[in-house]
């Protein structure tokens, strides 16, 4: 009896903690597939809907950045750093990084064709969802 | 002219932003212009001969604006060589500055990209990142210098799709002289080639084929055709890469096969072990060789690379040991 109650409580807590996240833009970008988002953040894909797209990252120590990497890039931060050194030889730069979701939102609201990722609960009416995922 | 370019590039360095991390280059003020470079020093022991070399001292600049971007790279090749044999020693120095790459890109839309200028021929995988600091061994496979032109001067048109997996098709067109034919493995005045790449998660497969014309000879076999099949599998710690090439001329086979398979394993974050097995046969030089290379690479940070390797050849006099230090900045 008790183990069942305990299990139910733990499961409920887990569900409550499961976060929902979104790739956002300022309404100028259409919805994108997972592989397109990966290509944008690796700077393999730079134009969407005839606009130069600007991907925005959170700081490398941010937990949401880790979740994003796991969901879309499938690559460790060390390997990603190596990737960008190789890209330096090919003439490509890593995406800009911001410290907080607040600054990501502010940038995206002001800069056309920029995209970033934040928690779903932090979205406002000026932003549109390009892709949504959860833990 | 190249020397003026290098002075300008160095001048830009003085206006670079303060924040700098090795291997990432620097941004010029707040302009979308970046500078970087790399160099390599190596040592070779072969047949009781010791060679020390300062090689590949290169400076590169790139940038982008809207749908346009550019890349410029100049390089000193074999800037200083000192060789010691059993009886004597001699040195040489090539102080010519070579133009390695100079091209502009235009991204027409999310699928199509146009490139014009001198660029690394997008053939196979190795030739895309050919410099010492970015590769896993000091040496490069025979196939890289003997099947296709490493550089093309002309147009490159590419189509890429990222809908599910990555598919990339590209066409190379050269119908003119090289921008700097002293910096290419073949002196060519024509190159027409295509490539198709398929990438799915950790797997990549590529097929290239083409034709080129050697400009430095009137030999009956100056027109060459090539075909190259490449494959790559990569995880966090392990990489397996292989390329297989064939070259012919006027219905005669010049190189019936040239291939390698290389496995590299990162057994500690900064330590890499490499094993490469190669085999080739060249009917023009009448040389046939098979070799195994055992290598070890230490990178205190990724843009600094200490490498050592030993090569065991079926042609015994080709056995050699190589050690190098290379840095990207």
Instruction: Return the sign of the alpha-carbon dihedral for residues A121, A125, A126, A129.
Output: positive
Summarised one tens digit per residue, pLDDT across range B152-206 is: 999 999 999 988 889 999 999 999 999 998 899 999 999 999 999 999 989 999 9
DSSP symbols for B35-82? EEEEEEEEEEEETTEEEEEEEEEEEEEEEEETTEEEEEEEEE-S-EEE
Measure CB to CB from residue A89 to each of B107, B134, B164 and give the nearest one: B134
The verdict on A50 touching B (C-beta cutoff 8 Å) is yes
Write out the two tokens for A18: 């499961």
Instruction: Identify the band that residue A30 occupies on the pLDDT scale cut at 50, 70 and 90.
Output: confident
Position A105 in a domain: yes
Question: Is A86 within 8 Å of B134 when comparing Cβ atoms?
Answer: yes
Summarised one tens digit per residue, pLDDT across range B229-263 is: 999 999 999 999 999 999 999 889 999 999 999 99
Number of domains in chain B: 1
Position A12 in a domain: no
pLDDT of A6: 59
Q: Give CA–CA dist A58/B98, Å, rounded.
A: 40
Q: What is the CATH number of the domain that holds B271?
A: 2.40.160.10
Question: Is A45 within 8 Å of B162 when comparing Cβ atoms?
Answer: yes
Question: Which residues lie below 8 Å from residue B291, measured CB to CB, with a gap of 6+?
Answer: B277, B278, B279, B311, B312, B313, B314, B318
**Distance of CA B243 to CAs A129, B131, B135, B209, B234, Å?**
42, 18, 15, 13, 15
pLDDT of A57: 95
Position A34 in a domain: yes
Q: Give CA–CA dist B172/B154, Å, rounded.
A: 7
Structural domain that includes position B77: 2-328
pLDDT of B48: 86
CA nearest to A46 within chain B: B110
Mutate to test the interface with A, among B17, B35, B40, B110 (most CBs of A within 10 A): B110
Task: Using CB atoms within 10 Å of the CB of residue B249, give its burial: 0 to 12 exposed, 13 to 18 middle, 19+ buried.
Answer: buried
Position A62 in a domain: yes
Number of domains in chain A: 1
The residue written with tokens 């490539």 in the block is B195
Q: What is the CATH number of the domain that holds A87?
A: 3.40.190.10
Q: Give CA–CA dist A96/A79, Å, rounded.
A: 18
Question: Is A86 within 8 Å of B109 when comparing Cβ atoms?
Answer: no
DSSP symbols for chain A? -HHHHHHHHHHHHHHHH--EEEEEESSSS----HHHHHHHHTTS--EETTEE-EEEEEPTT-HHHHHHIIIII---HHHHHHHHHHHHHHT--PPEEESSHHHHHHHHHHSTTEEEEEEGGG--TT-EEEEEEE-
Query: Which residues on A lie below 8 Å from B127 (Cβ)?
Result: none
Give the count of Cβ contacts less than 8 A between chain A and B. 70
Position A11 in a domain: no
Mean pLDDT of chain B: 92
Summarised one tens digit per residue, pLDDT across range B129-138 is: 999 999 999 9
Q: Which residue has the higher pLDDT, B40 or A31?
A: B40
Ramachandran angles phi, psi of B127, nearest 5°: -70, -10
Question: Is B162 within 8 Å of A88 when comparing Cβ atoms?
Answer: no
Question: Is B24 within 8 Å of A84 when comparing Cβ atoms?
Answer: yes
Query: Which residues on B lie below 8 Å from A46 (Cβ)?
Result: 107
pLDDT score of B106 more than 70: yes
The verdict on B128 touching A (C-beta cutoff 8 Å) is yes
Structural domain that includes position A111: 18-134
Position A93 in a domain: yes
Instruction: Identify the band that residue B69 occupies on the pLDDT scale cut at 50, 70 and 90.
Output: very high
């Amino acid at each position: 009896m008790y183990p069942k109650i305990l299990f139910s409580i733990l499961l409920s807590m887990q569900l409550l903690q499961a976060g929902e996240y979104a790739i956002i833009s300022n309404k100028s970008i259409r919805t994108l597939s997972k592989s397109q988002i990966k290509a944008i953040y690796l700077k393999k894909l730079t134009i969407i809907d005839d606009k130069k797209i600007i991907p925005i990252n959170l700081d490398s120590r941010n937990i949401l950045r880790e979740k994003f990497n796991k969901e879309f890039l499938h690559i460790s931060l060390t390997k990603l750093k190596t990737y960008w050194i190789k890209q330096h030889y090919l003439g490509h730069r890593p995406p800009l990084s911001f410290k907080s979701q607040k600054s990501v939102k502010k940038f995206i609201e002001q800069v056309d064709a920029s995209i970033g990722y934040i928690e779903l609960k932090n979205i406002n009416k000026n932003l549109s969802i390009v892709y949504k995922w959860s833990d | 002219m190249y020397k003026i370019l290098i002075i300008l590039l160095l001048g830009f360095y003085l206006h670079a932003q303060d924040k700098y991390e090795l291997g990432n280059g620097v941004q010029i003020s707040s302009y979308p212009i970046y500078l970087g470079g790399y160099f390599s020093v190596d040592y070779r022991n072969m047949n009781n001969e010791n060679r020390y070399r300062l090689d590949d001292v290169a400076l590169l600049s790139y940038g982008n604006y809207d749908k346009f971007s550019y890349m410029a790279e100049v390089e000193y090749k074999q800037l200083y060589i000192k060789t010691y044999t059993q009886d004597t020693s001699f040195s040489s120095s090539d102080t010519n500055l070579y133009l390695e790459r100079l091209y502009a890109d235009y991204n027409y839309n999310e699928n199509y990209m146009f490139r014009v200028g001198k660029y690394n021929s997008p053939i196979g995988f190795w030739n895309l990142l050919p410099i010492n600091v970015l590769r896993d061994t000091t040496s490069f496979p025979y196939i890289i210098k003997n099947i296709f032109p490493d550089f093309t001067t002309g147009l490159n048109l590419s189509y890429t799709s990222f809908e599910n997996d990555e598919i990339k098709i590209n066409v190379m067109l050269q119908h003119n002289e090289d921008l700097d034919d002293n910096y290419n493995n073949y002196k060519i005045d024509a190159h027409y080639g295509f490539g198709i790449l398929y990438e799915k998660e950790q797997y990549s497969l590529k097929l290239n084929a083409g034709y080129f014309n050697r400009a430095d000879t009137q030999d009956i076999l100056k027109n060459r055709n090539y075909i190259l099949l490449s494959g790559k599998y990569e995880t966090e710690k392990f990489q397996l890469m292989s390329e297989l090439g064939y070259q012919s001329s006027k219905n005669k086979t010049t190189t019936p096969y040239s291939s390698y398979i290389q496995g590299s394993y990162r057994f500690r974050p900064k330590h890499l072990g490499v094993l490469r097995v190669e085999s080739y046969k060249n009917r023009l030089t009448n040389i046939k060789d098979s070799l195994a290379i055992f290598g070890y690479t230490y990178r205190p940070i990724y843009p600094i690379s200490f490498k050592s390797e030993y090569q065991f050849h079926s042609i015994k006099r080709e056995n050699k040991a190589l050690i190098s230090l290379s840095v990207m900045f």
